[in-house]
A and B are shown apart, each in its own frame.
Chain A
Amino acid sequence: NAGVTQTPKFQVLKTGQSMTLQCAQDMNHEYMSWYRQDPGMGLRLIHYSVGAGITDQGEVPNGYNVSRSTTEDFPLRLLSAAPSQTSVYFCASSYSRDSSDTQYFGPGTRLTVL
C-alpha cells in the first residue's frame, strides 16, 4: 500500500492563479481531510469528507473548494490564490469518521503564493 499520496510536493503560484492539490489513498478509507500548517499555529482543518459525495467545512475553509467523487481521491482547489494561502498542506485519511480512529497523513505539499 502506498498509503496517502499527495502531488505536487512543491508549487509556486502567482496571486490570482488557480490550482488543484491532489490527494489519494489506497486504504479504502471512508474519511478524508485537508489541513494547512503555518509556523506557530499547528495544523488547522480546511475541509473534510465522510464519504464519496459528502464534504463539509472545517475551521479555515475560505478560498478553498473540495469534492469527493470517489472513495480514493479528495482534491483541494484554490480558485484564486492569495499570499495568505502560502502554507504547507496535508491530506489525511482514516477508516471511519469515528473520533478514535487514527488519521494517516500524506507527505505534504509546500505552496508559495507570490
Chain B
Amino acid sequence: AQSVTQPDIHITVSEGASLELRCNYSYGATPYLFWYVQSPGQGLQLLLKYFSGDTLVQGIKGFEAEFKRSQSSFNLRKPSVHWSDAAEYFCAVSSGGGNKLTFGTGTQLKVEL
C-alpha cells in the first residue's frame, strides 16, 4: 500500500530564510506527487505536482519541489520565506487506477518576523 511520511511536524523559520519541507513516499509504480497548502480555517490549495518529466517542479507562490526516485523523496523548497507562508503543508501521492490521494500527516510552518 502507498504511504507518505512527513518527518517534521513543526518547523519555524525566520522571514527571508530558506525553507525545505521533507516528504518521503512509498509506492510501487511511478508516483504522482503533490504538495498542498492549508491556511488556518481554509481548504487545501495545490502548490505543485509531479507526474513525469523534469524532476524539478515549479509551483505557485515561489515554491519548487524536487523528485528523487533513488531517495523516494519529494521535498518542497522556497528560497526566501514570507510571513504569509505560515500555514500547514501536506504532501500527497495519488494511486494508479483512480485519483485517490494518500496524504502525509502535514508540517506546520511558523514564520518568525
**What bracket does the count of chain B residues touching chain A fall in?**
20 to 34
On chain A, the residues within 8 Å of B104 by CB distance are: 42
On chain B, the residues within 8 Å of A96 by CB distance are: 99
On chain B, the residues within 8 Å of A98 by CB distance are: 99
Q: Is A12 an interface residue (CB 8 A)?
A: no
Q: Is A19 an interface residue (CB 8 A)?
A: no
Q: List 19 A-B contacts (CB under 8 A).
A: A33-B99, A33-B100, A35-B103, A40-B105, A42-B90, A42-B103, A43-B44, A43-B90, A58-B100, A90-B44, A94-B99, A99-B94, A99-B97, A99-B99, A100-B32, A100-B51, A100-B52, A103-B99, A105-B45
Residues 56-113 of B contacting A (Cβ, < 8 Å): 90, 92, 94-106
B interface list, Cβ under 8 A from A:
4, 9, 32, 34, 36, 42-46, 49, 51-52, 90, 92, 94-106
In the bound complex, what is the Cα–Cα distance between A79 and B49 (angstroms)?
36
A interface list, Cβ under 8 A from B:
4, 31, 33, 35, 40-45, 48, 50, 58, 90, 92, 94, 96-108
On chain A, the residues within 8 Å of B102 by CB distance are: 45
In the bound complex, what is the Cα–Cα distance between A31 and B98 (angstroms)?
9
